[in-house]
A and B are shown apart, each in its own frame.
Chain A
Amino acid sequence: MSRISKKFEALRNDSKTCLISYITAGDPSIENSLDIMQTLVNSGTDIIELGVPFSDPMADGPTIQRACERALSKNTSCLDIFELVRDFRKHDISTPIVLMGYLNPIERMGYEAFAKSASQSGVDAILVVDLPHEEAKEVISIFKKYNLESIFLIAPNTKIDRIQEISKYASGFLYYVSLKGVTGATTLDIKKTEEQLKVIKKSINLPLAVGFGIKDANTAKILSKNADAVVIGSAIVNIIEKEQDNKSKTNSDIVNLMSPIRLKLDENLISGEKP
């Protein structure tokens, strides 16, 4: 069983919601990223999504775009990120790591070389934002060969038959983009998202994660009722941006953001409201 499946199974047994945290690797430096990853796990993160910086992140909002620019100003490459994951794995063999990025840096390295190094360093899955399944056949089979799972996005305007088609190619979990917009947007309609999650949940077998625009514990809690995982991204990256010169402040602010979310998600465990 893959690390991601194991994680979801364990959480399901404890009736817990999976908390996924996103940071851009190399923002503000690879060394800081390692610290931040450990802080995230210590403050309740179950799965880490590591952004692979790209010069033209067209699906991301200004926050993650600037994070990419900071990482690229230090020339962060795929090889640096594999090194980071390898270092992280020295102390943590259970937290799944998903690399999230755009196709071009992967294609430049070569699918085979990328997949091999990713797998060897301890990466569990890849989410390529600008790669719909129609264009992904070759990549998915290479990822599979190296035991990497392929995460796909679904959007508010993805029709049900397409969601079912996507779930045939997907493994690990499906990532529901909760709004039409870019990462970190402010206009999340919680009621509507809840409704959509209910519909999607019925038509897939994979765990369902929801992200884009989730910034606080209450929103996370509400959405967790109809999803297996919630993703927090831009809210964390905002802290990193604000405190980039101050490592300990970055880490304490992240704990202050994430711990309440974890607590809120686990709040009703005893009363057995979940799953």
Chain B
Amino acid sequence: MKTNQNKNLNDFNLMKYGYPDENGHYGIFGGTFVAETLIEPLTDLRNMYYDLKKDTDFLHELYSEYKNYVGRPTPLYFAERLTEKINGANIFLKREDLCHTGAHKINNTIGQAILAKKMGKTRIIAETGAGQHGVASATVAARLGMECVVFMGEQDIYRQSQNVYRMKLLGAEVVPVTSGSKTLKDALNEALRDWVTNVDNTFYIIGTVAGPSPYPELVRDFQAIIGREVIEQMENIDKKVDALVACVGGGSNAIGLFYPFIDCDSKMYGVEAAGDGLETEKHSAPLNKGKIGVLHGNRTYLLEDENGQIIETHSISAGLDYPGVGPEHALLKDLGRVHYASATDQEALKAFHELSRVEGIIPALETSHAVAYSMKLAAKMKKGENIVINLSGRGDKDLNTVARIEGIEI
């Protein structure tokens, strides 16, 4: 199998696929669409990051945190009973749910927090939807002794009260956002406003592969440890990777899995949240149903109305409930390199239960979208072919949501 043996962040220079360009563009997507006050801090961040990704001390520190604090490498688990039940391709689960804090988010927050420290910043801010990125940010802030402020929509604070309490336990301040739709996109606006105001001492940890350049690139690079480990783990058991599947909200866990495979011939599937169905207005699937536009610093596919106003999205999983998507996914869609499918709330719920019962692994509702599509895909693939699902997070945070749907009060 032809693979790209990237062991370090700077090894990606060897890839044929050369995005983004020097201005942070992914074809027509990406870029730097921000007010002037943010240009200087973004330029500083880009310069610092480009220096550090070649710096052995930085890489040593990062990989040491991955190993000793995050708990990497995470296992690649062969889901034997699920494979038997589906009776198609072999299904492997990349167990990002076993990372510290229970999801892949910390791969990125630890990297950005080390960057922040090197830049001499003392205060970290972050936006969060479901609370996973907020928890991962609060965690690394505690780890590195930095102040942390997390912006969270009022709606989400109500939906995810347990994560709010986790962040507070970790010493973070959680600021309720009451503007707009009171969800993730508004939390992002508020974090950007805070950053503009406190730019001298503050580092903004963006949680996904979106935002102005260089964020999509550096978040991707920190998450790409996922795919690099999969390459090695599959080689160790002498298996070919035929298909990769991951859920896509902003798209950080998906890019993390896909990116090291881009030059290979493995098929890739990103799964968006279809909510009540793509034919309804209640979904979060910009790659399937969106138009090209500009939001939160980058050009990408967006869910918007006929006047270019961003519309409210819906998904059972708060982590996929976002009207945009990372610009690199927009490019990979247009290049035809990744196929972007979708799964409805109902399909995700069914997969949530299925994986819990058959494999003893309770997946996050976000992840359940990838599981749902993978089960359909595996059934159509040949026996002996291999499919790797990014099991991006564990489902403990969703127990209240699922119980409520089933009429149970915990």
Residues of A within 8 A of B (CB): 54-59, 61-62, 65-66, 69, 72, 75, 77-78, 102-109, 129-132, 134-135, 152-159, 162, 166, 177, 180-182, 185
Contacts and interface: CB of A to CB of B under 8 A. Distances in A.
A54 B292 CA distance: 16
Interface stretch (B164-172, B302-310, B326-334): B302-310
Please indicate which of the listed interface residues B40, B186, B200, B311 has the most CB atoms of chain A within 10 Å of its own CB.
B40
A42 to B, nearest CB: 31
A109 B307 CA distance: 7
Given A62-B179, A108-B307, A134-B23, A56 B35 contact: no
Contact of A130 (B34, B179, B180, B304): B34
Contacts, number: 117
A180 B198 CA distance: 8
B114 interface: no
**For the complex of A and B, 9 pairs with smallest distance between CB atoms:** A108-B308, A105-B308, A59-B35, A155-B37, A181-B197, A55-B309, A153-B36, A157-B40, A155-B36
Contacts of B131: none
Nearest to A108: B308
Nearest to A101: B308
Interface stretch (B188-196, B381-389, B399-407): B188-196
Interface string B152-191: 0000000000000000000000000001100001101100
Interface residues of B, number: 38
Interface string B308-347: 1111000000000000000000000000000000000000
A162 B42 CA distance: 14
B149 to A, nearest CB: 16
B294 A58 contact: no
Contacts of A156: 37
A154 B40 CA distance: 11
A129 B33 CA distance: 9
B199 A129 contact: no
A182 B197 contact: yes
A192 to B, nearest CB: 13
Contacts of A106: 308
B294 A130 contact: yes
Interface in B37-90: 37, 39-41
A61 B193 contact: yes
Given A56-B295, A158-B40, A103 B33 contact: yes
Contacts of A66: 179
